[in-house]
Amino acid sequence: MSEDDEIVRLTAWVRGRVQGVGFRWWVRSRALELGLAGSATNLSDGRVEVVAEGPRARCRQLLEMLDGDVPGGVPGRPGAVTGVVDRWGAPRGEASGFRER
């Protein structure tokens, strides 16, 4: 198995104008397209926490879509991302599917 195929857990904290704009729904749609399991949760400080489990390469793709450093933003992504902090770890066996919380 290559490193890209290794099953991992990505936790990303996304800041910016990401609550009340359809951002979690957009994240869920992208994650499901990539075959990832996890959740997108509004935090009390205005950030959205995204947890995704699946192959490393696909989690990396999701992270790139979340990243606010892309010039002009990501086409179709609601809101405005000003930064993303990520942490990688071992999978914990997320239930299948992707939830908005």
Active site residues: 24, 42
Burial (Cβ within 10 Å: 0-12, 13-18, ≥19) of residue 45: exposed
